[in-house]
């Protein structure tokens, strides 16, 4: 656990966040009080038997859902090893659940993360790519930003020749409320290095990712 939320913004953002946020992890008592208040606001009785434990439960669930705010992506990628491999490594269909920062409801789907190792041949464990997705998914998010953050973290730490991240997700804020279009899928991509520079390399990788 970091003392300061990692990768949330620049130094100024961090100073602001420290005024508003507990120094380590979610403030449980504050979250419990807020959920109780929300139940009152929607016209419920938080003291009825079915709801008595709900604020505590929701606070614990939020601690899990937003745990990524307190995790450092560089730590996740800290274990690297040298491997003489200069072709693409791709982990497809990583299930991911995140939270839309506009409505605080889930968006979920799959992430595909690929990279071509750099000249020094530094690679990371395959599970670390999925862990990196988790670090950024477990925050209030916008799909585009999450996609870029994963790509940037990989580019910064591994110094690969190229990085490609694609996320396909359904937003429950578009399915269960608002425009109510269940089944629609939002696809975002972020490319760095050779995938950005070479259209041929990018389209080859994209067809691997999307399987078409």
Ligand X SMILES: Nc1nc2c(ncn2[C@@H]2O[C@H](COP(=O)(O)OP(=O)(O)OP(=O)(O)O)[C@@H](O)[C@H]2O)c(=O)[nH]1
Binding-site sequence positions for Zn(2+): 100, 103, 173
Q: Nearest to residue 190, comparing CAs of 160, 153, 143, 151?
A: 151
Instruction: For residue 21, state whether it binds ligand X (rule: CB under 6 A).
Output: no
Helix count and strand count (H, E) for the chain: 9, 7
Catalytic residue among 64, 83, 101, 197: 101
Closer residue to ligand X in complex, CB, 48/181: 181
Of residues 143-172, those binding ligand X (CB under 6 A): 143-144, 171
Active site residue 85: no
Task: Give me 41's structure tokens.
Answer: 């606001």
Instruction: For residue 173, state whether it binds ligand X (rule: CB under 6 A).
Output: yes
Of residues 71-100, those binding ligand X (CB under 6 A): 100
Q: How far apart are CA 66 and CA 108, in angstroms?
A: 15
Active site residue 108: no
120-129 burial: b if 16+ Cβ within 10 Å, else e: eebbbeeebb
Q: How far apart are the first and last CA of the chain?
A: 40
Closer residue to Zn ion in complex, CB, 32/168: 168
Residues in contact with Zn ion by the rule CB under 5 A? 100, 102-103, 173
Q: How far apart are CA 77 and CA 98, in angstroms?
A: 20
- As measured in angstroms, the least distance from the Cβ of 13 to Zn ion is 22
Annotated catalytic residues are 100-103, 143, 171, 173
Return residues touching ligand X (CB under 6 A): 100, 102, 142-144, 171, 173-174, 178-179
């Amino acid at each position: 656990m970091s003392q300061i939320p990692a990768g949330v913004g620049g130094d100024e953002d961090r100073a602001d966040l420290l005024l508003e946020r507990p120094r380590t992890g979610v403030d449980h008592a504050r979250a419990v009080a807020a959920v109780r208040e929300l139940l009152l606001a929607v016209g419920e009785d938080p003291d009825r038997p079915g709801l008595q434990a709900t604020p505590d439960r929701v606070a614990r669930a939020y601690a899990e859902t937003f745990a990524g705010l307190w995790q450092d992506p560089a730590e996740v990628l800290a274990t690297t090893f040298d491997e003489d491999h200069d072709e693409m490594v791709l982990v497809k269909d990583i299930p991911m659940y995140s939270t839309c920062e506009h409505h605080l409801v889930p968006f979920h789907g799959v992430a595909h993360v690929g990279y071509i190792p750099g000249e020094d041949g530094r690679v990371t464990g395959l599970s670390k790519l999925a862990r990196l997705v988790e670090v950024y998914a477990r925050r209030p998010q916008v799909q585009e930003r999450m996609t870029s953050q994963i790509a940037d973290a990989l580019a910064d730490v591994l110094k690969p020749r190229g990085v490609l991240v694609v996320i396909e997700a359904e937003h429950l804020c578009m399915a269960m409320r608002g425009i109510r279009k269940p089944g629609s899928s939002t696809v975002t991509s972020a490319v760095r290095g050779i995938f950005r520079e070479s259209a041929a390399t990018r389209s080859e990788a994209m067809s691997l990712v999307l399987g078409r």
